Amino acid sequence: MRKLVWLCLVFFSFSSLATAIPDAPHVYVKGQGKISVLPDLAEISFSVIRRHSDLIQAKKAADTLSANIIKIAEEYEIAKEDISASELFIQQEMQYDRESGRQVISGFKVSRNIQFYLKNINVYSRLMQSLVNAGITQINGIQMMASNAEDLKKQAQKLAIADARAAAQELADGFDVKVARLYRAAKEPIRGEQPYVAMESMMRDSAPANIVEGAFEPGSITIEQVVYAVYLIE
């Protein structure tokens, strides 16, 4: 019985691969849809770091800076539920002692990771400058987001589908054949097959990024969707 089930599974797997690309004449294309928008949300991750030869002093300095960071958050009206902070991390710092030929403790590093969820993107630049002025020297990551991301994804998906149709038509016209009907469409590529991409999409992807944003400007974000399609031709 187990052998029969295994054979059925193998047959199903190979059948699925076989139907991904038809035996009939066809074109396999890739469609891309991109929408660039200005973000209205941001997740800012950074670290409070203080060093001192004395552990107590290092911790005190880290606590003081953490308190100042919370005050900054209040100034920019960041709600408490939009602030997350880790516990303090304490790390011994070592250095090589030439006289003894050994590593000795040179001091202590006390750190804490903090994350802001910024809902007012208009204060982003001033907030970042305030963090730097307060003594933040390590930014772990900044993620720009759009509150209507799901709607933008749907719009980008429609553009990707239209792009796939255009690519199929472009390829068919080049070989003087007609696009008959859609055979298969998916968001993942077919393994081992290289899709055709419309020339216009390739030019968009290869265009240089010639816009230089300011040091603390959020810039724009790009929502991208991709679709792979197989069209039968005649």
Overall average pLDDT of the 59-82 stretch: 97
80-91 pLDDT, tens digit each: 999 999 999 999
Average pLDDT over residues 45-65: 96
Cβ distance 91 to 85 under 8 Å? no
Distance of CA 229 to CAs 15, 26, 30, 171, Å?
19, 10, 6, 13
Task: Summarize pLDDT for 180-202 with one digit per residue, the tens.
Answer: 999 999 999 887 678 878 655 54
Range(s) of the chain covered by CATH 3.30.70.2970: 41-145
Q: Is the pLDDT of residue 149 over 80?
A: yes
Average pLDDT, the chain: 85
Q: What is the pLDDT of residue 200?
A: 56
Which are the contacts of 70, defined by CB distance < 8 A and separation ≥ 6? 83
Out of 3.40.718.10, 3.30.70.2970, 3.90.550.10, 3.90.950.20, select the CATH number for domain 41-145: 3.30.70.2970
Mean pLDDT of the 62-81 span: 97
pLDDT at 92 over 90: yes
Place 95 in a pLDDT band, splitting at 50, 70 and 90.
Answer: confident
Distance (Å, rounded) from C-alpha 116 to C-alpha 42? 8
Positions of CATH 3.30.110.170 in the chain:
22-38+148-233
Handedness of CA 227, 228, 230, 233 (dihedral sign): positive
Confirm or reject CATH 3.40.50.150 for domain 22-38+148-233, answering yes or no.
no
Q: Is the pTM of this model over 0.75?
A: no
- Is the pLDDT at 31 greater than 90? The verdict is yes
